[in-house]
Amino acid sequence: MSNSDRVELLNGTLDLIVLRALDTMGPLHAYALASRLEQVAEHPLMLNQGTLYPALVRLEQRGWIKGTWGKTESNREAKYYAITQPGRRAVEEQAERWRRLSGLVNKLLLDES
């Protein structure tokens, strides 16, 4: 798989995607989160899994998610992240903003083709 096939994530979109995933699926650890993102991506979203961490820290600092140490089914320790109440509100706001932005971008792209 060449690098050009990768979908580069727009700035800020990763935060929204993570929030959304946690909102719908409940508490997840970073690996599960990464797997989930790969699952839903129609394109091969080759996420450098390490880049998840800055997003997780950012979200945790804003108080939108909260991390706690727990055990996986295979009895390994992992940090589980869960969305918080302010996080849920933020998903709504961010999603609305995203819809508006993507609508605009789509419209511009369609008009020009």
Partner 1 sequence: MRRFAERLLNLLRVRRPEQELAREIEAHRALLQEAYEARGMTPHDARRAAAVAIGGVEQAKELHRQARSFLWLEDLRQDVVHGLRLLRRNPLFTVTAAASLAIGIGANTAIFSVANSLLFRPPAAVVDSDALVDIGAARGDGGLNPISYSTYLEIARRTTSLSGVMAQSLSPHVMSLLASDTGVAERIVGQYATVSFFTVLGSPAARGRVFDGNDRHEAVLDYDYWRRRFNGDDGVVGQVLRINGRAFTVVGVADARFHGTGIHTRDIWLAISPDDGASSVVVSGRVRPDVSIGTAAAEVGAIGDAISLERGESQRPLRLSALPFSRAGGNRNIVIGFAAVLMVLVSIVLVAACSNVAGILLTRSTARAREMAVRTALGASRSRLVRQLLTETVLLYLVGGIVGIAVARVLLTLVSLLPALPTPVTVPLVLDGRVMIFALSLSLCAALAFGVLPAFKGARADAGTTMKEGIRSSSRTRLRGAFVSAQIALSILLVVLAALFVRVLRYAGGSDVGFDPRGVEIAAVDLSMSVNAQSAPQMLWRNAVERVRALPAIEMASLARVPPGGLEGIGMGGVAAGDRPDAPELSPGWNIVDTGYFATLRIPVVQGRDFTADDRVGAPPVVIVSGAIARRLWSGQDAVGKPLILAIFNAAIRRMERRVVTVVGVVGDIKSSSLVDGLAEPYVYLPMAQAQYTGMLNEMSIVARRRGNTTLESQVGAILRDLDPALVLARTESLSEAMALGLAPQRVLAVVAAGMGLVSLLLAAMGIYGVTAYFVALRRREFGIRLALGAPRVRVISMVIGQGMWLVAAGAVIGLALAIGAGRVLAVFFYGLPAMHGPTLLGSALLLGGVGALASIIPAVHAVRGDWRLALQEE
Residues that bind partner 1 (CB under 8 A): 29-32, 34-35, 48-51, 53-54, 57-58, 61-63, 72, 74, 76-79
Give 13 or 49: the residue with its C-beta nearer to partner 1.
49
What is the per-residue DSSP string for 17-53? Answer: HHHHHHHHH-SEEHHHHHHHHHHH-SS-----GGGHH
DSSP bridge pairs for 77? 71
Give 31 or 41: the residue with its C-beta nearer to partner 1.
31
* CB-facing half-sphere around the CA of 73: CA atoms within 13 A: 2
In whole angstroms, how close is the CB of 23 to partner 1 at the nearest point? 21
* CB-facing half-sphere around the CA of 91: CA atoms within 13 A: 15
In whole angstroms, how close is the CB of 103 to partner 1 at the nearest point? 29
Give 57 or 101: the residue with its C-beta nearer to partner 1.
57
In whole angstroms, how close is the CB of 56 to partner 1 at the nearest point? 9
In whole angstroms, how close is the CB of 113 to partner 1 at the nearest point? 35
